[in-house]
Amino acid sequence: MYASHSWLHRRKHTGKLAAGLIALAACFGLGSGTAHADRWEIFDQGEHLFLPEGPIEVGEVVMLPLRPVAERFGYTFTSVTNKEIVLTGKDGRKAVIRLGTKTALLEYEGGAKVQLMAQIPRNFNGAWFIDLALAGAMGGQGHSTVPGTNFIQLRPVSGDAKEQLERQYWFSFKDKGQTVFVNNQGQEQLQTVYTSPLDFGYDDLLPVKKSGYTAGYMNRAGELAIDAPHYQLGLFSEGLAWFKDLVNTENGGVTVRMGYMNRAGKVIIPGIYNRAYDFSDGLAKVTRAGKTYYINHNGQMVIPPIPGLQNSESFSDGLAAVTVRTTAGGKSVLRTGFIDTAGKWAIKPIYESATPFSEGIATATVNGKSGLINTAGKWIVKPQYSGGSTFLGQFRDGHILLTLSGKHDYTQRLVDTKGKIITVPGTGQLTGFGDDIVSYNDTGGYGFKTFAGAVIVKPMYSYMSDFKAGAGKGFIDYNDVYEAHLINKAGKVVWSTGSPASE
């Protein structure tokens, strides 16, 4: 949901009430349950909502923070007890959220109705969350998902929703010593002396540097909203972002210390870790004193160090890939499986290797051959690829790259979530994909094609990034000085650097 992480392809390298809300968290498990950020983008009447936390997922149910959603719909908090939260709207509407249950009562002129929730209200990092169905009902129009996207609308926008919502994504470029942010129409949204290699995306805060040093987080107005001069800063996920400091040791050396801050710049979890990763599914992987484990939003250890651990990944789709040393056939071997957010083996460690889940699918290898599995551990594509033939990366936009190795060359194909192989006509070497458009290499340059093989941009670029939010980037190398273009789906350059600019 945050700044873009597109692949790059180079030719050279192929008050009291608030206190009451927080206090109630102790009654219902602050930070408990499974959560997953960065999957959904939430809009209301065409405006992207910059939520202080979330959205999150609990048992595959999307949940939103109550306060900003309620206030947007004109509600104010009337009372908070350990049993319910009562909100009153400007027009006399009332919402009674029954804590610890899956029911809420919505009262309005002419009647009242009971709203059923798929999950009980949860509290994460001091903020109450309600399920998407209740949020939509409080807005008076329900909610909808824009087909083929991760966009959720609380109250819809007229016209082509996807087209309008994608315009709120900001692409990042360097031009004439400044960082320029541009939407997919080529309209410049912001110029700043702060620098970042990341797109602003749909987010409201972006970690930036000034004169080569970390400054803090910039908002979409170009202001330094959080002054945080740490050595490094991460992106926000589930309302928290990691920070990294270099600390002098007693013997004259330097060591790393990492912790987490919230969107107000307040340190929520102190910098005591040697390594810290993004929050997802309500948990973050951390390392301290040589031990790796998972913590919740309070910094409490939820999953202790796993016996025999050799490597582990962050959670995605409610599962984390974990590699342990075990015994097979009387020999000591390394095997990978997946644990759930309670730290239990959901898929036993039987694979020689496996990637984290993405869009409900992971790659896995047994007996030297790789295939695709779902979150139940069942094969979608049976293990059949070995040697130079292998899956690349993870699923994005419903597809993954598959490299097929021949005697003298190799080709790439796309594989969808059902395991169907898709060949892009007239294209052997695919380098990436997004928005149903592939980037490909031919005659030493890179271009764009549709999945059906129609050329959008002939192979003329030195490197490029995949399409996202209706546009893609292309860069032309002039002796290590680059001219940058933003290209739309029709192949038209909608914005470019005024002169070749370092990228």
Region 19-27: mean pLDDT is: 42
pLDDT at 364: 97
* Whole-number Cα distances in Å, 227 to 36, 266, 339: 27, 11, 37
Which residue type is seen at 103?
T
Task: Return the percentage of the chain with pLDDT > 70, whole number.
Answer: 90
* pLDDT(29) > 70: no
pLDDT digits (tens, 9 = 90+) for 317-362: 889 999 999 988 889 999 999 999 999 999 999 999 999 999 999 9
Residue 325: how many other CB atoms lie within 10 Å: 13
pLDDT digits (tens, 9 = 90+) for 380-416: 999 999 988 999 999 988 999 999 987 667 889 999 9
* pLDDT(281) > 90: no
How many angstroms separate the CA atoms of 100 and 167, rounded? 39
Residue 5: which pLDDT band, with cuts at 50, 70 and 90? Answer: very low
Region 302-308: mean pLDDT is: 96
pLDDT digits (tens, 9 = 90+) for 150-192: 899 999 999 999 999 999 999 999 998 899 999 999 999 999 9
pLDDT at 38: 47
pLDDT digits (tens, 9 = 90+) for 110-126: 788 999 999 999 887 67
Q: Which residue has the higher pLDDT, 474 or 298?
A: 474
In the block, residue with structure tokens 């928290």: 240
Sheet strands (E) in 274-329: 275-276, 284-288, 291-295, 301-303, 309-312, 320-328
Note the pTM of the prediction, 2 decimals: 0.86
* pLDDT(455) > 80: yes
CB distance 8 to 463 below 8 Å: yes
How many angstroms separate the CA atoms of 153 and 485, rounded? 31
Q: Which residue has the higher pLDDT, 58 or 481?
A: 481
Residue 103: how many other CB atoms lie within 10 Å: 13
How many angstroms separate the CA atoms of 128 and 77, rounded? 12
pLDDT at 499: 52
- Cis-peptide, bond into residue 55, ω within 30° of zero: yes
pLDDT at 7: 36
* DSSP code for 177: T
Residue 61: which pLDDT band, with cuts at 50, 70 and 90? Answer: confident
All domains in the chain, ordered by first residue = 8-164 (3.30.457.10), 306-418 (no CATH), 424-503 (no CATH)
pLDDT at 408: 62
Burial 338-350 (b: 16+ CB within 10 A, else e): bbbbeeeebbebe
Q: Which of 58-67, 262-271, 360-369 has the lowest mean pLDDT?
A: 58-67
pLDDT at 26: 39
Residue 8: which pLDDT band, with cuts at 50, 70 and 90? Answer: very low
pLDDT at 17: 44
pLDDT at 301: 97
* DSSP code for 356: P
* pLDDT(1) > 70: no
Tokens of 99: 């804590």
pLDDT at 36: 35
How many angstroms separate the CA atoms of 181 and 478, rounded? 23
pLDDT digits (tens, 9 = 90+) for 404-450: 987 667 889 999 999 999 999 988 789 999 999 999 998 879 999 99
